[in-house]
A and B are shown apart, each in its own frame.
Chain A
Amino acid sequence: MLHVEHLNGGYIGKQVLHDVSFEVKKGELVGLIGLNGAGKSTTIKHILGLLEPISGSVEVDGETLQSSEKNYRKKISYIPETPILYDTLTLREHLLLMGKAYEIDSRDLEMRTERLARDMRMEKQLDWFPSVFSKGMRQKAMILSALVTKTPLLIVDEPFVGLDPLAIRQLLRLFDEYKQECAILMSTHILETAERHCDRFVFLHQGVVIATGTAAQLREKYALRPDATLDDIYVEAIEAEERAQ
């Protein structure tokens, strides 16, 4: 579903990503794991088309940004780390906007809206403006806005920040359901949750992919015992990389 090939990129005058390649298949939840400043957000910005790559390519479900910007963007929904909402639109209107932007049938949209709002306990807040939302509610509003689209690829940046435990559990359930038909790329620092729910991992360090694979494959790669946690694997991967340098 998502193919990132030899991506070099970053900001003007500062290259952050070096030859980044990985893929996310349909039915997979892939964890993008890295320290602060490893290049996770930069990678996501490149996939979203918010940054221009120096070289390399990003393809989503056969579309690239260069072939058709609109078709490419229709394949992706995104939950940012910091919620960005329109002050002038209620939550219901945000979902309507999503429906219009992604050309979703109005009956489908209505059904999805009702269901997602119920699942995320936001039914009462559907007609509220974001200015009265708590931090968690804003994050839930972003989640609803992304999930209502049912795009082939869902990109999630630190989704658990500000969410209560019930909401986290419900979100993970929704992810499990969502990935049956789509692919999910999730960047997170909460490795314990990532370990339990991600199918594969992409370890990013200083803008370079240092390892990819399932938890079992990564344990084998770094010769760790079978009960090693993702924390252990991650620390070992970083240390191995730094030793190699």
Chain B
Amino acid sequence: MRVFNARFSSWMEEVVKYSRYVANGGLLFTLYFTLIYGGFVYNQFLNGLDPAFPSEWVVALVFLLLPLGHRPRTLLQEADQVFLLPELGDIRSYMNGVRLFNVVFASVRALVVMLVVLPLIVRTQALTPAEVGAIVAASVLLSVAGRLAKLELVSNVVLFSALASGVIMIFGVPLLTPVPALVALVLLHLRRHDRIPLLDWLTLEQKSKAQFDRVISWFVDLPAMREEVKERSVIVRALERSVLRRADAARYVYGLRVIRSKDSLDLVFRLSVVAFIVMWLSGGWYVGLVVPLFVGLTALQLVPLFKRLDTMSIASWLPITRLERLSGYKWWMNRLLIGQLVVLTVGSVAFGARVDAVAGVVLGYLVIRYYLGRLK
């Protein structure tokens, strides 16, 4: 436990350090604004909700999603491959510490999701307090099982349990929903590792740390970050003939990065999907203003990436001036953000925006200009 406690303390120190940056950054206010707007819109949606709304299906879907997308922390370091090896025999306490740490994370995540979903359920379903408790318990257990499954390197078991819990919910027996989730936890307990699967846990930690760094990089420059890459050969081939072949070196390198990195095109897509959900929930209430909000959120995250890419790259000694690199990156960002602005505006009109759509476009365009202007 001594090793785990030391690692946990360092993790806490890191979180506290970065929390200060986050608390002092301008993005926090944007996030607050988004949350408040989101809460308001959600409240509007709940007020106008038809009691026949199939919330049990929403809960079933939430059950299925909760075990997914976990990035457990193991707090291991690369040097552990050498220095932790002699201790591996009696390191069970470290493993238990890591498991407990991740259980807390997964529980908090499930509870936050339930905070959003519960008002929907209680307004549309006649549930007893015990049944509501069972739904909350099932979601926590499924989230925990999903996270622990990654640690124990077990796949599929949890998804089957989630599916079973979802089916039970749809059949109207919410009291029984925690049972399949419990079965998954028992199976995970039986298949738990006695010794640390060092390389796997190290990979998990690196991925999780990369995600943490990615979020922090919205606020602070973290130059030495690894990127997750997808090949996306169809898009690359399509752009190769029209854009990439003619592009200069800076546009070429940033173009491929924008297409392949999970930080760029994926981010625009993810945030646009969330924007559409918010538009749908708002029921037409100032829906045009969602556009600049989400274009701004996207720009906020994309713009600081330039510094990160620029610091550690071959480009520093190639005959590509900083001005050319800046212009190449801006060229792509401009097209990405304008593209998002157009798509979101069309969406907002479809969801009922009229005058506010015009205001949204103008504001969105100004937001893009502002953030691109900060690239120097």
Q: Which residues of A contact B (CB under 8 A)?
A: 48-50, 69-74, 76, 78, 84-89, 93-94, 96-98, 100-102, 129, 131, 145
User: Whole-angstrom distance between the alpha carbons of A178 and B19 in the complex?
Assistant: 53
Asked if A50 meets B252 with Cβ closer than 8 Å, knowing A87-B227, A88-B227, the reply is: no
Partner of A86, one of B313, B316, B317, B320: B313
Interface of chain A, main secondary structure: helix
Interface residues as binary, B219-247 with A (CB distance below 8 Å gives 1, 0 otherwise): 00000001101010000000000000001
Q: Which residues on B sit within 8 Å (CB–CB) of A49? A: 317
Q: Which residue of chain A lies nearest to B247 when distances are taken between CB atoms in the complex?
A: A100
13 A-B contact pairs sorted by A residue (CB < 8 Å):
A48-B317, A49-B317, A86-B253, A86-B313, A86-B314, A88-B227, A88-B257, A88-B260, A89-B256, A97-B249, A97-B253, A100-B248, A129-B231
Assuming A94-B314, A97-B252, what are 16 further A-B pairs, CB within 8 angstroms?
A50-B316, A69-B319, A70-B319, A70-B321, A72-B319, A73-B320, A78-B317, A86-B313, A87-B261, A88-B229, A88-B257, A88-B260, A89-B253, A101-B249, A101-B319, A129-B229
Interface residues as binary, B249-283 with A (CB distance below 8 Å gives 1, 0 otherwise): 10011001101110000000000000000000000
User: Whole-angstrom distance between the alpha carbons of A224 and B253 in the complex?
Assistant: 52
Tell me if A145 and B227 are in contact (CB < 8 A): no
Tell me if A100 and B252 are in contact (CB < 8 A): yes
Q: Which residues on A sit within 8 Å (CB–CB) of B227? A: 87-88
Interface size for B (C-beta < 8 A) is 23
Partner of B314, one of A70, A76, A85, A88: A85
Q: Shortest distance in angstroms between B244's beta carbon and chain A's nearest beta carbon?
A: 9
**Taking the complex as formed, is B318 at the interface, i.e. its CB lies under 8 A from any CB of chain A?**
yes
Q: Which residues of B contact A (CB under 8 A)?
A: 226-227, 229, 231, 247-249, 252-253, 256-257, 259-261, 312-314, 316-321
Q: Shortest distance in angstroms between B102's beta carbon and chain A's nearest beta carbon?
A: 26
Q: Which residue of chain A lies nearest to B316 when distances are taken between CB atoms in the complex?
A: A50
User: Whole-angstrom distance between the alpha carbons of A128 and B248 in the complex?
Assistant: 22
Tell me if B249 and A100 are in contact (CB < 8 A): yes
Q: Which residues on B sit within 8 Å (CB–CB) of A100? A: 247-249, 252
Which of A72, A85, A88, A102 is most buried by chain B, counting CB atoms within 10 A of its CB? A88
Q: Shortest distance in angstroms between B232's beta carbon and chain A's nearest beta carbon?
A: 10
User: Whole-angstrom distance between the alpha carbons of A88 and B255 in the complex?
Assistant: 10
Partner of B312, one of A72, A84, A98: A84
Q: Shortest distance in angstroms between B370's beta carbon and chain A's nearest beta carbon?
A: 27
Q: Shortest distance in angstroms between A109's beta carbon and chain B's nearest beta carbon?
A: 12
Which of B247, B256, B261 is most buried by chain A, counting CB atoms within 10 A of its CB? B256
Q: Which residues on A sit within 8 Å (CB–CB) of B259? A: 88
User: Whole-angstrom distance between the alpha carbons of A93 and B237 in the complex?
Assistant: 12
Which of B231, B259, B319 is most buried by chain A, counting CB atoms within 10 A of its CB? B319
Q: Which residues on A sit within 8 Å (CB–CB) of B226? A: 87
Tell me if A76 and B256 are in contact (CB < 8 A): no
Q: Which residues on B sit within 8 Å (CB–CB) of A94? A: 314
User: Whole-angstrom distance between the alpha carbons of A100 and B251 in the complex?
Assistant: 10
Asked if A88 meets B261 with Cβ closer than 8 Å, knowing A100-B248, A131-B229, the reply is: yes
Asked if A84 meets B313 with Cβ closer than 8 Å, knowing A89-B253, A93-B256, the reply is: yes
Q: Which residues on B sit within 8 Å (CB–CB) of A102? A: 318-319
User: Whole-angstrom distance between the alpha carbons of A50 and B318 in the complex?
Assistant: 11
Tell me if B319 and A73 are in contact (CB < 8 A): yes
Q: Which residues on A sit within 8 Å (CB–CB) of B313? A: 84, 86
